[in-house]
């Protein structure tokens, strides 16, 4: 099925718009897209009339334009008939916001419309979902624009069974500066499922990373999903809901999915080189790293810090995640020491982690980074910066990034997330160097890059 009419829609019909209740989900969707996005949007309600001086069409077949996307926010009982009219009117596809289908025991209605759509080759997202959001292009989420935190355009595509998890992740992504190409809440995934989304996004030029929140699969679908993700030329990150016994029982009532045996699924993903995020922190860290770097590493980490304690924490996290922190050769140590300032030359520790001590200056960071980004002894560099160190300037992030641009080696920074350090953080992020607000998060970013050769 061709999903372009859904994700690249130029014309949209919103079915279920109310003439008297502007807070109705259909009205929220209509108003946002009509006033804020580059779409031609038509409101539909069987009673007709007008809304905001615009014609309120009684039926989608009354609209005189070719419709790419129909957003359906009507009672479940009415949806199959609405879909039949969409197919007859040659609409390109649909997003079904409505609930009240298989998740509430009405599987017969869901099956009826799914069979109809499959026979006609008519793609739809949902039902029981928020739909799709693409920065500056389209937004079918029935959440008021003033309350929604919207990530900037980027290269991470998010596919989620849960609309709530997706929106909450969008908040976290925005806070960490992770941009998205599109976010899709697939809800009950009656027709378009994770496998379809991976295949579509694999060919999307705006997407470099595909991340999925999954609650469950149909019988025998899990293996097909893993094989599809393994073949995908882009990194695929999965966060699985329903990992616990209690969580798996909750899944069915949420989106009518079978949670399955989590341990088996997790083991199979590892065997096939699919990155699994166990929680939201891992998810954001993996996405930020992979949105910046597609290069694979073997897991040899070089660490630069001004705090021995932070170095210890980083090494512990590296060991927990299967990353190596190798000791540096004498030649590499000498090359670094040669360019140190006189105040730290005799007191800095160069074993890896490189502890510059609290007396370090910007130039000392640059001396260590300049050698390590060229060294074959490490294949990823973690720079742990404590901005309150007296010798460090707000320009350090930009200066380190400038050095690293010339080398094909991932660099990841840790800086506390405080407004007063914004210039330092931006110096890295503007040069596409990911910044974590915790040491653990920085190590997780490095872990995301230690994958199979396809990345």
CA 162, chain centre distance (Å): 14
User: What superfamily does domain 149-292 belong to in CATH?
Assistant: Succinyl-CoA synthetase domains (3.40.50.261)
**Res 252: pLDDT:** 44
pLDDT score at 243: 64
One DSSP character per residue, 61-107 reads GG-SS--SEEEE-S-GGGHHHHHHHHHHTT--EEEE----SGGGT-H
Res. 207: pLDDT tops 50: yes
CB atoms under 10 Å from CB of 34, counted, come to: 18
Closest CA to 357 of 344, 369, 370: 344
Secondary structure string (H, E, C) spanning 423-437: HHHHHHHCCCCCEEC
d(CA 166, CA 170): 6
Class of the domain covering 296-449: alpha beta
Give the DSSP H or E segment for 314: helix 308-320
Q: Which residues, listed in sequence order, are joined to residue 381 by a DSSP beta bridge?
A: 302, 411
State the chain's mean pLDDT as an integer. Answer: 92
How many degrees, rounded to 5, is the angle at CA 183 between CA 160 and CA 446? 80
Q: In the chain, which segments carry CATH 3.40.50.261?
A: 149-292, 296-449
Please give the Cα distance from 268 to 263 (Å, whole number).
9
Tell me the percentage of the chain whose pLDDT exceeds 70: 95
- Cβ-based neighbour number of residue 362 at 10 Å: 16
Is the pLDDT assigned to residue 256 strictly greater than 50? no
Longest Cα–Cα distance in the chain: 83
- Parallel, antiparallel, or unpaired: how do β-strands 69-72 and 54-55 relate? unpaired
Kindly list the distances between the CA atom of residue 175 and the CA atoms of 280, 289, 343, 371, 396, in Å, as whole numbers in the listed order.
Answer: 13, 15, 37, 32, 22
In the chain, where does the domain assigned CATH 3.40.50.720 lie?
1-127
pLDDT at 404 over 70: yes
Q: Would you say the C-alpha torsion 98, 103, 106, 107 has a positive or negative sign?
A: positive
Calculate mean pLDDT across residues 422-446. Answer: 95
Tokens of 331: 């030649």
Beta strands 435-436 and 69-72: pairing type? unpaired
pLDDT tens digits along 285-332 = 999 999 999 888 999 999 999 999 999 999 999 999 999 999 999 999
Q: CB neighbours of 247 closer than 8 A, spacing ≥ 6?
A: 241, 259
Q: How much is the pLDDT for 41? A: 97
DSSP 421: G
The CATH superfamily of 1-127 is: NAD(P)-binding Rossmann-like Domain (3.40.50.720)
Q: What is the pLDDT of residue 247?
A: 42
pLDDT, tens digit, 9 for 90 and up, residues 234-252: 999 999 987 645 444 454 4
pLDDT band at 52 (very low <50, low <70, confident <90, very high): confident
> Measured between alpha carbons, how far is 366 from 325 in angstroms, rounded to an integer?
20
Structure tokens at 51: 């809304």
């Amino acid at each position: 099925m061709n999903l372009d009419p859904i994700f690249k829609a130029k014309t949209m019909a919103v079915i279920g718009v109310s003439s008297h209740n502007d807070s109705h989900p259909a009205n929220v969707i209509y108003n946002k897209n009509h006033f804020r996005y580059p779409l031609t949007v038509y409101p539909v309600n069987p009673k007709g009339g007008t809304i905001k001086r615009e014609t309120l069409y009684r039926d989608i077949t009354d609209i005189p334009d070719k419709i790419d996307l129909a957003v359906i926010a009507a009672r479940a009982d009415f949806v199959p008939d609405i879909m039949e009219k969409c197919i007859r009117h040659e609409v390109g596809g649909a997003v079904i916001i409505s609930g009240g289908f298989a998740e509430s025991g009405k599987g017969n209605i869901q099956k009826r419309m799914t069979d109809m759509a499959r026979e006609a080759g008519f793609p739809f997202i949902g039902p029981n979902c928020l739909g799709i959001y693409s920065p500056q292009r389209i937004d079918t989420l029935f959440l008021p624009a003033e309350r929604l935190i919207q990530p900037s355009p980027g290269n991470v595509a998010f596919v989620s069974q849960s609309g709530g998890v997706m929106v909450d992740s969008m908040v976290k992504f925005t806070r960490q500066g992770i941009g998205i190409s599109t976010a899709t809440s697939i809800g009950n995934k009656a027709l378009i499922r994770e496998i379809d989304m991976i295949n579509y996004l694999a060919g999307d030029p705006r997407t470099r990373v595909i991340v999925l929140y999954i609650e469950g699969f149909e019988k025998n679908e899990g293996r097909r999903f893993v094989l599809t993700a393994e073949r995908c030329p882009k990194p695929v990150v999965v966060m699985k809901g329903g990992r616990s016994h209690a969580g798996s029982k909750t899944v069915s009532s949420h989106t009518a999915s079978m949670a399955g045996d989590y341990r088996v699924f997790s083991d199979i993903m590892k065997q096939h080189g699919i990155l699994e995020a166990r929680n939201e922190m891992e998810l954001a860290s993996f996405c930020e790293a992979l949105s910046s770097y597609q290069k694979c590493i073997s897991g040899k980490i070089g660490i630069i810090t001004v705090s021995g304690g932070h170095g210890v924490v980083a090494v512990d996290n590296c060991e927990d995640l299967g990353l190596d922190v190798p000791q540096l050769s004498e030649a590499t140590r000498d090359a670094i020491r040669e360019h140190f300032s006189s105040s730290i030359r005799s007191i800095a520790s160069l074993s890896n982690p490189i502890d510059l001590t609290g007396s370090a200056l910007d130039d000392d960071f640059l001396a260590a980074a300049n050698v390590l980004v060229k060294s074959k002894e490490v294949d990823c560099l973690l720079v742990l910066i404590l901005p309150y160190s007296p010798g460090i300037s707000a320009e350090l992030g930009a200066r380190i990034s400038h050095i690293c641009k010339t080398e094909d080696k991932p660099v990841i920074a840790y800086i506390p997330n405080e407004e007063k350090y914004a210039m330092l953080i931006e110096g890295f992020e503007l040069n596409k160097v990911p910044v974590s607000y915790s040491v653990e998060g920085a190590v997780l970013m490095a872990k995301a890059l230690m994958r199979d050769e396809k990345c």
